[in-house]
């Protein structure tokens, strides 16, 4: 029996803008078969909405604690949210 999809909102803080965090996150999410989006926020953090297989979501959350090599992640806030109708994983603003 397939597990119900899990959806999370992540807020990643630290030196996470200007280091290709969004592009690497989108690549990793797609590799894991997740849908959602990643975007820069005005406060310098990165917001991720990811949904799909719970194990894949957890793998992305774990990856976000390190991010790409040029990033410095100080914190990853994780909130479970209701899944939405999303078809792919996109990079926003």
CA–CA distance, 32 with 61 (Å, rounded to integer): 11
β-pair type (35-40, 89-91): parallel
Of 28, 30, 40, 49, catalytic: 40
How far is residue 54 CA from its own chain's centroid? 13
Which of the following is catalytic: 22, 28, 49, 72? Answer: 22
DSSP label at 87? -
Q: Is 79 a catalytic residue?
A: no
Q: Is 92 among the catalytic positions?
A: no
User: Pseudo-torsion of CA 57, 89, 29, 9, nearest 10°?
Assistant: -40
Residues designated as active site: 22, 40
């Amino acid at each position: 029996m397939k597990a119900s999809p899990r959806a999370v909102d992540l807020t990643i803080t630290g030196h996470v803008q200007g280091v290709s965090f969004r592009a690497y996150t989108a690549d990793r999410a797609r590799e894991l078969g997740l849908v959602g989006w990643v975007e820069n926020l005005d406060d310098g953090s990165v917001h991720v909405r990811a949904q799909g297989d719970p194990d894949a979501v957890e793998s992305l959350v774990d990856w976000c604690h390190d991010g790409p090599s040029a990033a410095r992640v100080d914190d990853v806030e994780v909130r479970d949210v209701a899944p939405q109708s999303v078809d792919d994983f996109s990079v926003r603003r």
